[in-house]
Structure 1
Amino acid sequence: MTDAQPLDFSTVLAASVHDMKNSVGMLLASLESVIEDTPPENDEQSRRFSTLHYEASRINSELIQLLTLYRMQNKVLPVRIDEHFVIDILEDQIARNHTLLETRGVAIELVCDHDLNWYFDDDLLGSVVQNILVNCVRYTHSAIRISAEVENDQLCIAIADDGPGYPASMLVRPCCQLEESEVTDGATHLGLYFAEKIAQSHRQNDVCGSISLANGEPLGGGVFTVRIP
């Protein structure tokens, strides 16, 4: 009789995260149907629907991030680079968050040439846009602007809001730096770590993708930018 192999907890956790992600996705879809079929009758109901939808969206995004990072760490994450129209992934994420934006009263502006195309993994880059968009909804006052253009032979997608902006400590810290102490405290900035890793998985010759944070124009709040070579 051979000794049983020790249980790989990380594998069990990844499987559980995958199952939870599917369940939260179904919950989110059901919630959106409820909101559509039963519109809020007053401001209090609107705030409650907004909170429920935001929290469900945030949990879903974080589960996707955890699962993607696990697969990336274990070198089982496929990166499928192909040519795509940029506006398609941006419009997809806006449509995906239509209910959240509407219940929060956030106006969104999209600035992107309909003919702009680039080579990238649309699922992975779409996940980055989704995560930042949900985060912006939390902090913005009333407006978000998403723009895309080519600068210095790189695709630049910028997501700006009119909120208070990023804290000074986040502007000077490397986005891909994830400290064990922060994991313990629950302040991991996991979304930025995720975005940086996804950007870096896109490489052209000796240039790899990157992200950056800033405050100011065009809306006076935070500005997140992802660059894909």
Structure 2
Amino acid sequence: MNNRNIDFSMVLALTVHDMKNSLGMLLNSLDELRIRNATNQTDTNSFNTLQYEAERIHNDLVQLLGIYRLGENNLSAHIEEQYVPDFLSEHLARHLPLLEGLGIECSIDAEPLNGFFDANLLTGALNNIINNAIRYTTSQIKLSARESEGYLVIRVEDDGKGYPKSMQHTGTQSFKSLDFNTGNTSLGLFFVSAVADLHSEGDRNGCIRLHNGGELGGGVFEIWLP
């Protein structure tokens, strides 16, 4: 008789991984199709919807895999030196077709400094933050980076209505604080918080800060990395 002691959580993780890769290929194809149909406004609006929703699902799958690995104590940060302005520019480039299609202005204001972080983890975190900013902004998004109090601070701002009081947060979010009885579990917020916390130096760990205001007057999401 076959052994049917199946680890269902592992099956789900492998399935999510395959779905994530497929969606990545779909997003690349959408970029190519958008370029071919750039003159058709109706097609552009359709591409905006398709690309935003596909990107959102792709981000959800990335964070699900990250949270699974975190629960298995199998998620760690591989720290490497990165030139921050180049990292942000390269990261933003993948979002430009959608931003341009939606008519959203995006700018980068980064000090010429090097940071020490896991580029893959931070890419997943920033994708989550930017996707959220795209959803709630009115017309502008700004990425910035600076050094403050011995931390690298990467900030994403928008000119929307800002975060509600219940979401304004400083520090590290606990999994126990998530509310699965509401439509908004804040899993994305937990994932970004966990990514920041994986970055440490001595007795200092990374964290997130959410508040309103900034230069654009809307929501401000900050990742602080030691």
Common topology (TM > 0.5):
yes
Aligned to 1:70: 68
Q: Report SS of the residue matched to 2:180.
A: helix
After superposition, the Cα gap between the structure-2 partners of 1:126 and 1:40, relative to the gap in structure 1 and judged at 3 Å, is same
Query: TM-score, normalising length from structure 2?
Result: 0.93
Q: Is the counterpart of residue 121 in structure 1 residue 118 in structure 2?
A: yes
Shift of 1:175: 6.0
Aligned to 1:22: 21
User: Take 1:184 and 1:228, find their aligned partners in 2: how far apart are those partners?
Assistant: 32
* Length, aligned pairs only: 226
Decide which of 159, 173, 186 is 1:162's aligned counterpart: 159
Q: Is the counterpart of residue 135 in structure 1 residue 132 in structure 2?
A: yes
User: Take 2:179 and 2:98, find their aligned partners in 1: how far apart are those partners?
Assistant: 29
User: Take 1:70 and 1:221, find their aligned partners in 2: how far apart are those partners?
Assistant: 32
User: Take 2:77 and 2:191, find their aligned partners in 1: how far apart are those partners?
Assistant: 14
Letter in 1 for 2:103: G
Query: Which aligned pairs between 1:16-95 and structure 2 lie closer than 5 A?
Result: 16-42=15-41, 44-95=42-93
Shift of 1:217: 1.9
Provide Cα deviations, 1:130-160, integer angstroms capped at 9, x if missing partner.
2111111111011011110000000001100
User: Take 2:176 and 2:77, find their aligned partners in 1: how far apart are those partners?
Assistant: 26
Shift of 1:77: 2.4
Q: CA RMSD in A?
A: 1.9
Provide Cα deviations, 1:13-38, integer angstroms capped at 9, x if missing partner.
00000000011111111111110111
After superposition, the Cα gap between the structure-2 partners of 1:62 and 1:142, relative to the gap in structure 1 and judged at 3 Å, is same
Aligned to 1:206: 203
Shift of 1:128: 1.2
**8 A Cα contact 1:156 1:226, kept in partner:** yes
Query: TM-score, normalising length from structure 1?
Result: 0.92
User: Take 2:52 and 2:151, find their aligned partners in 1: how far apart are those partners?
Assistant: 32
Shift of 1:214: 0.4
User: Take 1:140 and 1:68, find their aligned partners in 2: how far apart are those partners?
Assistant: 26
Letter in 1 for 2:11: V
User: Take 1:198 and 1:36, find their aligned partners in 2: how far apart are those partners?
Assistant: 34
